[in-house]
């Protein structure tokens, strides 16, 4: 582009701090599980060393440090403003196993030592080429022998189309000096152009899709840093792998296992791509899907990676449903097929044992359950008391392991070796994590024990911030009463709002809020 948007300061992340989040796919828990799935013996995350390149204000790293108190965490970022914000949160939580450092990726050398897990999310495509090379070099030189590095980046072919919208917005935003004005004008122009365009034509469809995406994300910092930054350099997947290989690394896996599998493509595509090397196969899949973003796991070149995932390996994991599951016609007494659906992704099974296992996971969600517990529980529920089930292959551990693997391939299930700390039953003195309580006191989005986020209403903020394990039910009922009086909870009698409610109604309001916290993995005791 000949016209570059001017920046209010030398560092655009100081001018517009990136509203970062905790990303479940970057958590050492997930990286450890993926590496194990592919035959590695990665470092135990309960005592590991983690480095995050481009940590922003620590929204991703701080929850990890709180989650894994015996491990150590180091995050670096070039934005002093964001690092300072993160340090304030660390001090408020009293954490001693994490440091955020104002530093450049170019500063990292051998003296920093080895790290078991290295994370760089939303960094690679937004830095100059020489810094990209350094990021990959750090991912090799500073990675422990069996460690895992995570790198995300924008990819072609999807970004060929997205670049049209980026060029449009950058051209218009170049007329304005203030970062907030650039954001507002870029959004206004995209909306204007989308309204004028014909949705039945390619460009019109593209503009509307990008507008829908930005509205769904609802994050001005994402727009500013993804579309208006000077540096945004997508590349093809195979090009990224070649650059990583030049540093002594190899492609391990995609952070989302389901995207790697031919079985999730149409039959004709499966036949055409079957037998190709992994990288070439996935590059063709990117073309078929128009993929625009990748989350890649890397390991050292000399690590033995097993590309064929064995269902028997599933026995070592703990399992959880990937979200709220919808069920249809589930009856574990017969072999009638039934459907389990999470976020629109469905799994159909007629196997009684598998149906019983998935129903158990639904009951205890969001808790993770080890395979052996899941198997024994399912056996008991279908009326087969003897583990092994040699007399009945449909009730064997092998059958369950195979079906759980199938569920994992379509994102129905999550796996881990070290489950997060969360409780299903609400205790007499509920306890939320210190971070969630701190965030509830500051705003309406909080980090869950599953390393995601949920939004809270005003009553949820008020209540969660008090769940430090010291408040009895009577205290929490008083909190609910305060929320009703403040208008945070609407209670009506007939058509009229009321400020005072009977004890039964008050108790119900509290119980419903606590149940939501439990279901959202916000409680640890």
Question: Across the chain, what does the average pLDDT equal?
Answer: 90
The CATH architecture annotation of domain 12-156+234-300 reads 3-Layer(aba) Sandwich (3.40)
pLDDT tens for residues 449-501? 999 999 999 999 999 999 999 999 999 999 999 999 888 988 877 677 777 88
Q: Is the pLDDT of residue 428 over 90?
A: yes
| Helix ranges restricted to H, 249-370 | 267-273, 278-289, 352-364
pLDDT at residue 41, as a whole number: 97
The confidence score (pLDDT) of residue 8 equals: 38
- Residues 283, 287, 291, 293, Cα dihedral to 10°: 40
Q: In what order do the strands lie in the sheet with 413-416?
A: 369-370, 318-321, 413-416
Contacts of 492 by beta carbon, 8 Å cutoff, 6+ apart: 498
**Residue 311 pLDDT > 80:** yes
Q: How many residues does the chain have?
A: 525
The set of residues, in sequence order, having a beta carbon less than 8 Å from that of 264 and lying 6+ positions away, is: 258, 409, 410
- pLDDT of amino acid 194: 81
pLDDT in tens, 103-129: 999 999 999 999 999 999 999 999 999
What pLDDT is attached to residue 128? 93
User: Which of residues 164 and 451 earns the better pLDDT score?
Assistant: 451
C-beta separation of 295 from 150 below 8 A:
yes
Q: 73-89: per-residue pLDDT in tens?
A: 999 999 999 999 999 99
CATH top class, domain 311-416: alpha beta
pTM for the predicted model, two decimal places = 0.91
Assess contact for 503 and 350: CB atoms under 8 A. no
CA 503 to chain centre: 40
Q: Where are the domains of the chain?
A: 12-156+234-300, 162-227, 311-416, 434-519
| Closest among 401, 412, 409, 434 to 362, alpha carbons compared | 412
Q: Lowest-confidence range among 80-89, 170-179, 254-263, 266-275? A: 170-179
The average pLDDT across 430-450 equals 96
Tens digit of pLDDT for each residue in 207-225? 888 788 778 777 777 777 7
The 10s digit of each residue's pLDDT in 455-464 is: 999 999 999 9
| pLDDT given at position 203 | 78
């Amino acid at each position: 582009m000949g016209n570059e948007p001017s920046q209010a300061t030398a560092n655009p992340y100081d001018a517009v701090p990136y509203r970062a989040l905790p990303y479940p796919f970057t958590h050492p828990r997930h990286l450890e599980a993926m590496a194990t799935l592919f035959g590695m013996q990665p470092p135990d995350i309960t005592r590991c060393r983690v480095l995050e390149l481009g940590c922003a204000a620590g929204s991703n790293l701080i929850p990890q440090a709180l989650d894994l108190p015996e491990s150590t965490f180091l995050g670096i970022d070039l934005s002093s403003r964001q690092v300072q914000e993160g340090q304030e949160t660390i001090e408020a939580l009293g954490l001693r196993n994490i440091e955020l450092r104002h530093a450049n990726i170019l500063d990292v050398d051998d003296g920093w030592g080895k790290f078991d897990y290295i994370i760089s999310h939303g960094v690679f495509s937004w830095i100059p080429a020489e810094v990209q090379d350094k990021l990959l070099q750090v991912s090799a030189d500073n990675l422990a022998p069996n460690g895992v590095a995570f790198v995300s980046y924008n990819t072609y072919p999807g970004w060929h189309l997205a670049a049209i919208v980026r060029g449009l917005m950058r051209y218009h935003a170049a007329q304005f000096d203030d970062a907030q004005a650039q954001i507002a004008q870029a959004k206004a122009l995209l909306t204007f152009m989308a309204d004028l365009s014909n949705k039945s034509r390619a460009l019109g469809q593209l503009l509307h899709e990008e507008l829908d995406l930005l509205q769904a994300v609802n994050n001005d910092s994402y727009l500013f840093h993804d579309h208006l930054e000077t540096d945004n350099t997508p590349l093809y997947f195979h090009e990224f792998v070649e650059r990583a290989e030049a540093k002594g690394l190899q492609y391990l896996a995609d952070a989302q296992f389901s995207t790697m599998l031919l079985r999730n493509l149409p039959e004709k595509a499966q036949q055409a791509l079957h037998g190709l090397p992994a990288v070439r196969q996935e590059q063709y899949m990117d073309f078929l899907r128009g993929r625009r973003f990748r989350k890649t796991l890397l390991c050292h070149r000399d690590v033995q990676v097993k590309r064929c995932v064995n269902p028997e390996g599933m026995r070592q994991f703990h399992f959880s449903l990937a979200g709220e599951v919808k069920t249809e016609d589930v009856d574990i007494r017969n072999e009638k097929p039934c459907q389990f659906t999470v976020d629109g992704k469905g799994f159909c099974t007629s196997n009684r044992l598998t149906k019983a296992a998935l129903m158990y996971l639904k009951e205890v969600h969001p808790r993770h359950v080890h395979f052996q517990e899941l198997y024994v529980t399912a056996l008991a529920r279908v009326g087969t008391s003897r583990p092994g089930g040699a007399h009945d292959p449909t009730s064997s551990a092998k059958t369950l392991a195979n079906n759980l693997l199938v569920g994992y391939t379509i994102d129905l299930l999550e796996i881990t070796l070290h489950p997060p700390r969360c409780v299903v039953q609400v205790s007499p003195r509920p306890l939320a994590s210190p971070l969630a309580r701190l965030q509830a006191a500051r705003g309406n989005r909080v980090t869950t024990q599953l390393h995601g986020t949920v939004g809270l209403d005003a009553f949820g903020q008020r209540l969660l911030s008090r769940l430090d394990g010291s408040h009895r039910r009577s205290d929490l009922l008083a909190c609910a009463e305060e929320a009703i009086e403040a208008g945070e909870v609407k209670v009506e009698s007939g058509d009229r709002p009321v400020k005072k409610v009977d004890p039964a109604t008050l108790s119900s309001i509290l119980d419903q809020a606590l149940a939501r916290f439990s279901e959202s993995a916000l409680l640890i005791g």
